[in-house]
Structure 1
């Protein structure tokens, strides 16, 4: 092999050679050779070019010149001439020609692919070319996939508009959404909870164990402040008895699935939000029926056993199913995971639209007092959640997270429980309106925090 018209053996012997200029005019012709190269040991290119420094310097020049480039543009084989930059690097030992880099036993010519340096022991052009060929093939269609994910995310971020549009359709054109009822609502919510299970990570629970103070306070506020607020507002506001029961049921539900999105938009602690939602949802199997029985049992009969079974079927089992699927079918889960939040948003909007459509005349008769009662419930939840976490000295991001988790409820679960276990359809109405109200309030808060509040700590 020759290098700038000089025998390659001269370089091996340590002769001083002129530097190789990286560019189209540089060409190295390589052939399998039994020459064994010493280990390159030079650390600088400032002194005259010995053979070892020559090897390192050309590699560095080549790598810097092509760092901005993406991947290799050709498949490199032994005994090939390489146009463009070339860096010479030592290849240890006497591996067979097929496994050596490019020059057979003695030398490998570093061929940079835009990341990493062009030299190494045991790496070869064939290996690199095939590896990057696989990467190029795996990345085919990536731009279109990225655009699709961006569209899905944009539609998901507009979840308050989805819920508000569903409420408007339910009030103005009930026939368009009232077909979605009964078992369909239950199955749809179970699918949503399954999607939530697919998004959970074990690391998030480990993080929660390391920060028990925030989790304990958030869950305690969830199942103390909101149920008591629902009970008090139902007594103070001039609403019918079934509406008062519905307010209590809303307050006894766990954190809403959309709270994670609002937490992200408000630059709060998303990991803590996911943990709080998950823990409160698991505990709902016990707390929701028990608290509803204690607070609303004086008003109407409350089937606590039926509430427990329904919560178990609609919430706990689907979430566990999602965790199992993610554990044993990760590739399939990864394909559908980006669409899960959007499916959840559309499902909640459709459930709320259906319930509002079925009770549109009763909602109109109740007037603004119903809307004001629900808005007061959630506004007080947001305020008390933020104030309590501030009193405990939480940092700003955690205050926002606890506020969102306390103020936003899983209203869809309330709708399912109300329609399945209460005779009066008005019990489900506050739950349906709740989804629209807390989504709008949460979005307004997130937007104000994002624009005017302090930045989230790193």
Structure 2
């Protein structure tokens, strides 16, 4: 059992390096990794199940009793990233197709990967799950609405059609089944573990949804899906690196507290 524990600790501490390594291999030889897409849902389910086994009802109870953190996380999700995406498009005067893709992924809700990274960072996983759930439920209305407001200057947008797509891609499966966020949480004086959860939640969008929406609504311009694909790679690398740092910092703090108590 100790060997398994040490192995998992090693994988967790070096997770960012593994992400970079396999991302490089996938870019070099994509045909050897295409078959994995069939099992992504299953693998995510197994990971989420493992996280769930470490959590208690008390974790979620504390979140429900103090909805302030969830509210801040969800508001930051739909304000910080869309605004940042819009500013980047204007600042760098991006081409229309790229600008549309950047704003689209910025308007998407958080994804399940944020829950995994929050768990690795020893943040408030229950809060991360709650924020993901609420932002996903609100996405059918807020994502097309915000996207319409920010991107309509570049193209004509059918917000109703996009709403239907999100209902199909996001809500139907539910029925069936980085740093700006951190400081936003700090401003409202949330606990440090909550700040980590919100930071990761805001910084890691549901890039898969961004790719799906780009493929459906901008099929004639495939390049609009590129920002979502690139963002997916980047937020997994940066998120896992940040999680490794925060986890190491948490371990150091826990050891210091233990030594003080022992003394």
TM-score w.r.t. structure 1 length? 0.47
The one of 96, 112, 120 equivalent to 1:241 is 96
The one of 372, 387, 390 equivalent to 2:186 is 390
Q: State how 1:171-210 maps to structure 2 within 5 Å.
A: 171-173=27-29, 203=57, 206-210=61-65
Pair 1:264-2:128 in alignment: no
* Root-mean-square deviation over aligned CA pairs: 3.5
1:439 maps to what in 2? 236
Q: In 2, are the aligned partners of 1:194 and 1:319 still within 8 Å (CA)?
A: no
Q: In 2, are the aligned partners of 1:197 and 1:320 still within 8 Å (CA)?
A: no
The one of 300, 307, 311 equivalent to 2:166 is 311
- CA distance in structure 2 between the aligned counterparts of 1:449 and 1:284, rounded to whole angstroms: 29
The one of 131, 136, 139 equivalent to 1:281 is 136
2:212 maps to what in 1? 416
- CA distance in structure 2 between the aligned counterparts of 1:415 and 1:153, rounded to whole angstroms: 33
What secondary structure sits across from 1:223 in the alignment? helix
The structure-2 alpha-carbon separation of the partners of 1:243 and 1:261, relative to structure 1 and needing over 3 Å to count, comes to same
Deviation track 1:209-234 (CA, whole Å, cap 9, x = no partner) reads 21110000000000001000011111
For structure 2, the 5+ residue unaligned runs are 258-263
Q: In 1, are the aligned partners of 2:140 and 2:163 still within 8 Å (CA)?
A: yes
Q: CA deviation at 1:205?
A: 5.5
2:199 maps to what in 1? 403
Q: In 1, are the aligned partners of 2:109 and 2:206 still within 8 Å (CA)?
A: yes
Q: In 1, are the aligned partners of 2:60 and 2:126 still within 8 Å (CA)?
A: no
Q: In 2, are the aligned partners of 1:190 and 1:318 still within 8 Å (CA)?
A: no
- CA distance in structure 2 between the aligned counterparts of 1:310 and 1:190, rounded to whole angstroms: 19
Deviation track 1:264-300 (CA, whole Å, cap 9, x = no partner) reads 2212111111111111111112111111121112112
Q: State how 1:98-177 maps to structure 2 within 5 Å.
A: 160=16, 164=20, 167-169=23-25, 171-173=27-29
1:301 maps to what in 2? 156
Q: CA deviation at 1:393?
A: 0.9
**Aligned residue-pair number:** 248
Q: CA deviation at 1:455?
A: 4.0
- CA distance in structure 1 between the aligned counterparts of 2:122 and 2:8, rounded to whole angstroms: 20
Choose between structure 1 and 2: higher helix proportion.
2
- CA distance in structure 2 between the aligned counterparts of 1:421 and 1:159, rounded to whole angstroms: 35
The structure-2 alpha-carbon separation of the partners of 1:400 and 1:306, relative to structure 1 and needing over 3 Å to count, comes to same
2:106 maps to what in 1? 251
For structure 1, the 5+ residue unaligned runs are 1-142, 323-381
420-429 vs 163-172, which moves further = 163-172
The structure-2 alpha-carbon separation of the partners of 1:403 and 1:234, relative to structure 1 and needing over 3 Å to count, comes to same
Q: CA deviation at 1:193?
A: 8.4
The one of 419, 423, 428 equivalent to 2:225 is 428
What secondary structure sits across from 2:112 in the alignment? coil
Q: CA deviation at 1:248?
A: 0.7
Relative contact order (C-alpha < 8 Å, sep 6+): which is higher? Answer: 2
269-278 vs 162-171, which moves further = 162-171
Q: In 2, are the aligned partners of 1:253 and 1:288 still within 8 Å (CA)?
A: yes
What secondary structure sits across from 1:224 in the alignment? helix
Deviation track 1:373-428 (CA, whole Å, cap 9, x = no partner) reads xxxxxxxxx22111111111111111111111111111111111111111211111
Bigger Rg, which one:
1
The structure-2 alpha-carbon separation of the partners of 1:267 and 1:197, relative to structure 1 and needing over 3 Å to count, comes to closer
- CA distance in structure 1 between the aligned counterparts of 2:242 and 2:134, rounded to whole angstroms: 24
What secondary structure sits across from 2:200 in the alignment? helix
